Each structure stands twice: as structure tokens, then as C-alpha cells.
Structure 1
Amino acid sequence: MRVLRRVIFPIVWVLIFAVIALALVKLAFIDGLRNDGEQLVPQAQIAAPVIAANRATVTNTVELAGTVQSDAAVPVRATAAGKVVFFFVDKGAQLAAGDRILQIRSEVVPDPSTAAATTDDGASADTAKALPAAPSYTYTDVLAPVAGTLETLALLLNQEVSVGDNAGSVSPGTFSITGALTTAQQFRLLGKPATATGTITTGPAPFTCSNVQLGNKKTQDTGGVGASMVPAAMVGPIEPVAPAESGAGQVTCAVPAGTAVFAGLGATITLTAGEAKDVLTLPLTAVKGTVQNGVVWVPAVDGNGVPQERPVVLGLNDGDKVEISSGLAEGEQVLEFVPGMDAAVPNGQMPGIGPMGG
């Protein structure tokens, strides 16, 4: 043991240190000074994800939040010029469409040629002048434009009116659901559905909502209040306000009579604007454009070239996938994401971070 510890072990350690020293010398003075002209190139390659066009069913269903609103009162207009001589009903009366509300008396101006003809029966001109013609009148009834409650009555007895003057208003007592539409939803509803399904929050069962109307969203005029009410101490650079989404509109549909609702209730409107079964589809992320015409990118045959743009004709889309009417064959592959556009990130997830949790 004494020989092993005093002779063998020291020799082994010397040999180990010698090998390490020789390796360091080789790395520093031999391999480090050698210039073989070789260039390092990355070996890993990132391939753009592709997806194949396949067949599926596209149901163009748009669901949006809305609010129950009372339908606006319908104005009652004078339909003749003259004097109000009679009221058939009082304010607050329940009316059916076409019921009489008031009566207007209009004086008929005699025709001068007719007046001249009355002197041909032998009477003298002096007698004709001495006996003025008795006035004649016509009577016009102003009718209720819709069924409902006579909310206002704007005229008085013996008041002179002209055609088109406001005579009052009739509240129909009906309700509608109104919801806001984004630009993308407006494009999806170009083929306006005739009916929708309305669902009242914590209310009656879903019902068919008729008379679907699409239009521009009404804007409220602030009258410049925001600019005039800024305190003097706060005068300075103001952060720009993001403009509202261009082309935002609204949809309105009628609540069926007899449905228990009241103004201000929350509701959901579901509109179905068509269904295409067993059609060629792609995810919307793979297509630039969502309506009528679009562009897809077909990868190069060798996989290394520049992807080629290809126009396609689009049909229905459901917000996730779109129908490809022409321009692609079934199974043909395209880039899954439009070049230069950010991939869609699920709600609540930060870009670049995968979903968390088990």
C-alpha cells in the first residue's frame, strides 16, 4: 500500500495532467490556428405550416348581444288643409289601424267658369252680384296609421292646419331587439335573413324574431361638450382616441306580440344567413379576404421556393372557415397563415405563450 500511494498514484496524476496539457496546447496552437475555409451554416430549417383544402359544412350563423327596445311612436299627419272641427277620440285612446282620430273641414273654392254659367238662366248680372254663392265644404277624416295607443294629440279644435302638419302620434306598444354589428358580421350578412331567433336573458324561451332590418348604427351627437368641459388645468396634449370600427351597423328584429318583455332587457340575436353542405373549405387564417374573392399562397413544389399567390372565389364563412367555390382542388395544400399577418391568438392568451394549465 505504501508503494501504491507513494509511487503509483503520483505517476497516474502526472499522466492525467500531461494529457490535459497536451489537449489544451493542441486546441490553442494547432486547431485554433488552422484555417480550413469552411463556413458554418445553420442545419435546422423552419418550414411554414401548410393545410389541405378539405370538405366540410359551413353554416353562416351570426350571434350577437342586443337590447330590447320599445318601438318608436308613429306620427299622425294632417291629410288635408283646413280647420279641425271634430275629435273622435281623446289622448290615450286605444286604436286599431284605420280608426278615425279627428276631422278636418276644407272650404271648396267655386270654379269661376261655373259661377259665370249661373247667369245664363236669364237673371241679371246685378242680381248675381247681390246674391253671393253659399260656401261649400269637404270633410276629411284623419286615421290612425297603426294600431296602438294615441300617445299625443297636437291639434286643437278650430285650429287651421296644412297638409302634413303633425297631428299627434300613436305608440304601437310593440318591442324590438337591437344589436350592434361589426364590419365582418355585416359582410357575412350580405344575404339578409328574413327571420332570426331571439333569446331574452333570464326571460321567455327563444322565439322567432321577424322583420329583420339591417342598417347603419345610430350615432349620438355630443354637441362638442367633451371639448368645452375640459378643465383649464388639464389643457395639454391629449391622447388620440381610437376611432370606432369603420362601417359598424346594427340589426333590429320584431318581438312577437304577446311575448312578455320590457324595454332594457338584455337579449341575444341569432341570425342564420345560409348553409353550404359538403363544400371545399379552408380556415380563414389561410385566406386573404373573406367575401367574394380571396387569395391563398401555394407552397413551391420543392418546398424551398417562394410560395405562389393564387386567387380563389369565396362563398359562405362561419367566422372560422370559408367556402372555396373555385380556384383550389380538394386536398391541395396552401400556407396555413397568410404571409405577413399575425396568427390569431386565443382570447386570454399572450402572443408567444402557449395555453397554461393541465
Structure 2
Amino acid sequence: MNNEFILPVPPFPLTVAEEEKLRGRLTGFKGGYDEGYLRGRLAVLNGRPEEPIPVRNIHVMYVASGKGYPYSPLDDAVLSSLQSLTAEVTITDVRQNLVELAAGKRPDLVLVLDGMDLPLEQIAVLRGSGIRTAIWLTDDPYYTDFTMKIVAHYDYVFTLERNCIDFYRGMGCAEVHYLPFAAHRDHYRPTTARSPVTRDISFIGSAYWNRVNFFRPIMPELMQFNTVINGIWWDRLPEAPLYGERIEIGKWMSPQETAVTYSGSKIVINLHRSHMDEVANNNTLLITAASPNPRTFEIAASGTLQLSDVREDMARFYTPGEEIETFSNPQEMMDKIRFYLTHEEERRAIALRALERTLKDHTYPKRLNQLLTIIFGPQ
């Protein structure tokens, strides 16, 4: 079906002033048409029911991170998915006595998220009683100085970083599996009505030094567009005061607010943190990062064009040029920004394909079903 917006041709000559007025009006009509078409397509995709996954007759004890925000949205995603996939879920956190709780509940599996603050002697007792244990690590490879001390205490280790698999196996872990995070549809979904946010470009994330150093040389060029940056530590950028409220320093955004912002932006930049950061990381072995961050799936689920720096394993999840766009340096990023801000149909097509791929392959129920299949076998 042809979805081109056809501009009407006036039947008589116009003055210069009339031409300018008409051109402005037609530009507004075109913008409204493009916005309406995109929101309609997003609504259709978002309204499709997910493929049902059979419920397993098992009992899972889920041990939340206990760290609060920003980990609590991950807990919400994992918990709700487990509740849809299993017969029974017991929720607890690292501050509770898991041994006493498990003695009364007798779960088939104890699944720990993060686990940095969980006393390891409790895991040893659980394993000794015949209960299977698993940990899903949240921040690989950035805190491997800590995770290397705890992984061998679990039956199953799940990591969101491909390059940590052999590292943990080399430490004696027999069951190490690659399981990136995903998009939680209760949090991240496209805005299907007219968006309350209208931006050309958004970046939401903390000002790690690699991000500051990447953005700083191109800030004048980047901020020529309707660009807004949100996140903590952006006072590290010396020029931040020049841009006023367009750099929102120290603002934590809820997942729902983040999704609305993503969906209301024509382009969302995803610039991964570096595996080399002496200030923020605890990765003295300098294990490199090849896998996409959780934000990759969340942006795609919000129905917008994602422009991400290259990650070696990105193509396993989204096809570059079709479902995501990538860049290798600041100038390539700026070139693609200029292209997609002037090529609405190409931008829209990638955003729609990214959403469709996410709903098909990259939701938390699918990830948790994969985890349970590894531990308990296929249904």
C-alpha cells in the first residue's frame, strides 16, 4: 500500500508570502501525517498478543537484589515473568534468611538476581539440601572483581556478557550460560497516541567518562538539533551550563517516563559504557564487553530509531541497517543523525522492524523460559 503523503498543487500563481505560508502549512500537514501513520503502526504491533508459553509445574524462590532503584525495575520484570511461567513463586531478597524460608517452602529452584550482598554460606546450605541454585548477574563485565568471588557457589550462572562465559568456566563453573536482559513490556512500550514528548534526539544515561569524552567535541553540532541529554554526573561536561535545561543533570527517570521520552524522540542514542573506567568499574582484568546493554532492548521496545555504538555481538539480536543503526565514531554518528532526520520513511521503517523483532524475541518471558529450559529441560 502506498503511504506517501501527496502535496496538493495550487491551481493559480501565489505571491512569495502566500507560498511561504502554504509551504509552512503543508509542512505541518506532512509532519502530522507522518506522526499519525507511525503511531498507528506502532499501535498495531504493540497490540499483538505474545506467543503463549506453557506454565511449568515448578516452584521458584526469587531472590531480589535488595538494592532498590535502578535494580528494582529488573526485579519487577523477572518476578512478573516467573509468575506467568511457573505454578508458584516465592519472592524474597538478599536481606532475608533464605535457608529458613526454603526449609518451609521447599522450592525447586532458588534464582538470585545480582547476589553481590547475599551471604554465600546460605547458598551452600541450600545446595546441600538438594535445592538447585542459579544466579543472574546484572553488570558484567564491569564488576568482575566481585562476581569472580561468588559464581562458583551456584549450580547455574547466567551472564549478560558473552565475554564472561569462558572466564567463569575457567574458574570451575560447569554451567555458565549467556542470557542478556530484555524489554519488560509493562515498562517499555511505544506511545500510540500523540506523544507528549517531541525531540529530535535523546540520550539518557550516566556521564561515564568515555561518554563525556565522546560527546564533548561534537556538542555544538549535536545541540543544533532538538537534543536533550538526561542523567547523573553530566556536570562533568564543562560546557553543560551553556545548554541550560537541555542537559538535565542528576535526573533519575522512571522506566515509564524513559519509555515515553524514547518514543517521543526521532532518534535515541545508545552509547555503551567502557570496560575501562578506573573510577566506576571493578574490572581489573579488563575483560572487554561485546554484548549489547539492557538499554538496547528497551529503546527498541519503545518504537523509535536507535543509533548505537558498535558492539561485537549486536547482530545476534538486531540486524544493523534494518532493525538498528550503528556508528564507530562521532562523525559517523552525526552523519547518520542528519540522514535519518531528513529521511522519515527510512527512520520509521527501522523503528517498526526493531519493535517487531523485540516483541518476537527479546521480552522477559522469553528470557526466563530460556533460563528454565536450561535448568529443567524443554517442556
Bin the TM-score by the shorter chain: under 0.3
The structure that is helix-richer by fraction is: 2
The structure that is strand-richer by fraction is: 1
Bigger radius of gyration among the two: 1
Q: Identify the structure with bigger relative contact order (alpha carbons < 8 Å, sequence gap 6+).
A: 1
Structure 1 length as normaliser, TM-score? 0.22
Structure 2 length as normaliser, TM-score? 0.21
